[in-house]
Amino acid sequence: MTHDHRHDHDHDEEMSLRVAALERLLIEKELVDPAALDELIDTYEHRVGPRNGAQVVAKAWTDPEYMAWLLRDATAAIASLGYAGRQGEHMVALENTPAVHNMVVCTLCSCYPWPVLGLPPVWYKSAPYRSRSVADPRGVLKELGVELSGDVEVRVWDSTAELRYLVIPRRPPGTERWSEEQLAKIVTRDAMIGVARLQLERAK
């Protein structure tokens, strides 16, 4: 789990050869369809990502009934916007409030809600985040720029099963008249993991 943030040329070359050898073999044996591989890559590199989750959050902020549904049955509420399937089969939405701050980790691997956030970033999968977020969440949050007062309860959700968690960040003050579309633009991936707070400057 090291080196992910560095780029060691020899390692890259060794891995390239090793993957290419396996891919050639699997194609030769007709165990994979090359067009299916392209489809998988295109889906997760270009079509599925945190813009989906941002739509969910923006709708929840502007539609109290939808928010209630999302908190009661996140899988169905999220699927109603067209986001469903692999690694998002069993969703739970966690609402941040002035009293409670939620953040999500997977200490055992890299479980992450793909349909709403896409594939996880390297830091989320890294040993520092996986080891420290459960034991020292405030330290991790502070390092990532989120300082919480002692009276806010931090809840860390360790995704050890097949439940996938989406944090509903707090809606920034000053956005009361904003449309759902405007709001979706300010919701970031890191806020939906629970390691960032939303700031208004981003949207203007």
Partner 1 sequence: MNGGQDLGGVHGFGPVLREGDEPVFHSPWERRAFALTLALGMLGRWNIDMSRDYRENRDPVDYLSSTYYELWLKGLERLAADRGLISEQELRSGRGLSSRDPAIKPPDAARVRELLVSSRGAKVNEPVAARFAPDQRVRVKNRHPATHTRMPRYCRGKTGAIAIDHGVYVFPDTHALGLGPKPQHCYSVRFTALELWGEPRRDAVYVDLWDDYLEKE
Within 67-106, which residues bind partner 1 (CB under 8 A)?
A: 84-87, 89-90, 92
- Asked if 199 touches partner 1 (CB under 8 A), the answer is no
Question: What is the phi/psi pair of residue 58, to 5°?
Answer: -60, -40
Cβ closest to partner 1, residue 11 vs residue 202: 11
| Angle at alpha carbon of residue 124, lines to 165 and 187, rounded to 5° | 60
Separation between Cα atoms, residue 80 and residue 74, nearest integer Å: 10
Strands 91-95 and 100-105: unpaired
**Total interface residues for partner 1 by CB under 8 A:** 82
One of 65, 151, 176, 201 touching partner 1 (CB under 8 A): 151
Q: Counting every residue, how long is the chain?
A: 204
CB of 42 to partner 1, least distance (A): 9
Which C-beta is closer to partner 1: that of 150 or that of 173?
150
Report whether 151 contacts 97 (CB < 8 A). Answer: no
Minimum Å gap between C-beta 175 and partner 1 is: 25
Closest CB to partner 1 among 30 and 201?
Answer: 30
What's the CA gap between 190 and 185, in Å, rounded?
A: 13
Catalytic option among 106, 131, 159, 179: 106
Place of tokens 């069993």: 90
Which of 51, 81, 123, 203 binds partner 1 (CB under 8 A)? It is 123
Interface with partner 1 in residues 34-73 (CB under 8 A): 35-41, 43-45, 49
Q: Which residues 162-191 are close enough to bind partner 1 by CB under 8 A?
A: 162-163, 190
At 171, the amino acid letter reads R
| Torsions phi, psi for 94 (to 5 deg) | -120, 120
DSSP state of 44: I
Q: Between 62 and 159, name the residue whose CB sits nearer to partner 1.
A: 159
Q: Which residues are catalytic?
A: 106, 109-111
